[in-house]
Structure 1
């Protein structure tokens, strides 16, 4: 049944018009796409009540983990970027800034017991997006988008662990969290992608060196397969990552694909082009039959996708769009997939009491009864990807970006006055020192954790913040 429905929506894509008795959109018309995107974005924001009295700013309701709220703000930022609609701009800023935590690094105390490096990383990626899209900067006494992205990058790099699996970042931030003994692709992927994006934005190549480091580790340990370029999920530190979990998720491949596109955009090297091309060849794993429709093969056929996994197609759609922007030669390969998938996704947006709620499976040809934040995010991201021909490439600090940086953010080191100069000259001059310090501190943390079975990692990090301040 899925195959028949999938071919039905594929046929619709040939004409560029979808009418699901819910949302009608002409995918060849800019105004029509924006109008449809507004409907889907409004549906996404129906899950947000953080701006209401007594509620928590930045958090989406419905039993979603904290990280998915950060990811959802990324979808809404893309919505603003592609459509120019600033309806939700103020609530975006309020929500993003409320969750930064006391040290302005997206490690709020309320999330400590379940904080993963990947969770923190998704908020950092959204902050990086805000810098690259030149979104309105916060007030000068508030944390700035670029500095927030740098803080997340630095604090994840701080917990690089060379004592197990020959390197890599663990899934969870603290030893008392479930999953601390697992090193996974998504946690390392956020470090990789942030490094690639920060290098491009600041022209500071030390960030790129970290991206190289992550890629080399992923490849050496086998989480990026040397023969197929498949991106696997992770490995346990108990067996030194010798036995890998080879399940494939869309967002694991997507985060490395987009990061490779950023590296290629900056370096223009054949090495990164080859790596990017090889990753793109693995997309066939995530395309249903020969329909060019994106699906989640690890759980969608069995209808077993959990709440987190129901959002994964949002990120691969977002990162395919980013790949096209940063490596335009990929347009002919990737854009038709996004178009067919957008057609299929919108065909599911005819459910709920409002008649325009989006379902989960894009293979169904209509609303499948599954709804939620992840479903709306996925439909929004793949739909607004169709506005790529009408958009501009993400900015850098010398092509229109204006966000202030702080290269030592997230390390506890005192930096110079936050300014645009701090994100350019200061970055380039000071980041070599920061990189050396990050490496040394990461080793110190790893040794300390290995010796201390009680896992008081946070105390050590606080000690580092206090003891290593110098102007």
Structure 2
């Protein structure tokens, strides 16, 4: 599983430029490699449990942009495989993927499951500790960035699917708390979570902590018409692509000691960055981010044998 993030990156960077035939070819090759190695029967059982859901999101995106239907059965199987969830962020990955999959096949079970679990999560795990926010775990030991970013994204996705004002209200409430929580540094980058005194715990700024917020904030602008949220997302995106990189400008994590989940983080970041870039107006910031995506995708493509093989976690070459 150390290799999966690079392929997700390639798919996202390629589909972000799907108007160019060469990029569509790259995306198709990456999808085939992804399926050959991880697409086992039962819904991506060769991946980590939570990873099934961002994989599904990327393949839905690929299918939407290219009209290539080959992965429909894989998508349908993976999104309905809800085994292995045990933390609140696991549940939220599944909620978001279920809404995205509902947009494709309109199976009412998908949207109903997502809505019921969103309600359960905010009812059971959002409280006034640290002024608000949802807990990462059912035992309520940690309030962190990723779980609340996923909750924001789930709320915006559910609003766009249902039009129910309660979801938009939740999205605004979540962001209001998150923005004041102290997890966002002066440079716009997000730390991992809060300590026992409800202060920024100084934990590393992992790439997926930046990425999921980009998607939620861009969605929040889309559903409210208020550009301030997308402006905040752009600030974080530029900080991440200028800071969380090697000297060659290639995306990297602040720590390699992340276990089997760590290399997936970069793929999640780029998925949301691609959607943000798509929503931005033309201008120097959008051009900078598109150039960054192309540079990183070219590095992944070269290291991966033109999409035929996965690569390791360090996109500048070597082990990682």
Give the C-alpha shift of residue 305 in structure 1: 4.0
Q: Name the structure where helix makes up a greater proportion of residues.
A: 2
Per-residue deviation, residues 342-400 of structure 1 (Å, max 9, x unmatched) = 1111111039xx96333322222xxx456xxxxxxxxxxxxxxxxxxxxxxxxxxxxxx
Q: Does 1:341 align with 2:306?
A: no
Aligned partner of 1:41 in structure 2 is 31
Note the residue ranges of structure 2 that are not aligned, 5 or more in a row: 1-16
Aligned pairs for 1:65-104 (under 5 A) are 65-99=48-82
2:286 maps to 1:331: yes
Which residue of structure 2 aligns with residue 414 of structure 1?
Answer: none
1:204-224: per-residue Cα shift (whole Å, max 9, x none)? 332122122222222222012
Partner SS state of residue 41, structure 1: helix
Change (3 A) 1:339 1:355: closer
* Whole-Å separation in 2 of the counterparts to 1:95 and 1:186: 22
Task: Measure the CA separation in 1 of the matches of 2:289 and 2:201.
Answer: 29
Partner of residue 115, structure 2:
150
- Would you say the 8 A contact 2:39–2:74 is kept in 1? no
1:129 is displaced (CA, Å) by 2.2
Q: Is the 8 A contact 1:261 1:327 kept in 2?
A: no
- TM-score scaled by structure 1? 0.58
Moved runs in structure 1, 4+ residues, more than 4 A? none
* Structure 1 residue 202 displacement after superposition: 3.3
Q: How far does residue 163 in structure 1 lie from its aligned partner after superposition?
A: 4.1
Cα deviation digits, residues 31-75 of structure 1 (max 9, x gap):
332222222212211234642xxxxx22422xx431012222222
Distance 2:120 2:28 in 1: 36
Distance 1:137 1:243 in 2: 40
- What's the Cα RMSD here? 2.6
**2:143 aligns to what SS in structure 1?**
strand
Greater radius of gyration (CA): 1
Change (3 A) 1:322 1:147: farther
Distance in structure 2 (CA, Å) of the matches to 1:49 and 1:272 = 36
- 2:130 matched residue in structure 1: 165
Residue 120 of structure 1 corresponds to 91
Cα distance in structure 2, aligned partners of 1:229 and 1:164: 24
Secondary structure at the counterpart of residue 165 of structure 1: helix
The aligned residue for residue 233 of structure 1 is 192
Q: Which moved more, 1:149-158 or 1:337-346?
A: 149-158
Aligned counterparts of 1:363 and 1:341: Cα–Cα separation in 2: 9
The 1:273/1:72 distance shift into structure 2, 3 A limit, reads closer
Q: CA deviation at 1:116?
A: 1.1
Aligned length: 301
Distance 1:183 1:94, change over 3 A: same
Alignment partners' CA distance in 1, 2:93 and 2:308: 31
1:49/1:203 CA distance change after superposition, 3 Å: closer
Q: In the alignment, does 2:97 pair up with 1:137?
A: no
> Could you say what secondary structure the match of 1:293 adopts?
coil
Aligned counterpart, 2:263:
310
Name 1:425's counterpart in structure 2: none
> Using a 3 Å threshold, how does the CA distance of structure 1 residues 198 and 334 change in structure 2: closer, same or farther?
farther
**Cα distance change of structure 1 residues 345 and 265 upon mapping to structure 2, 3 Å threshold:** same
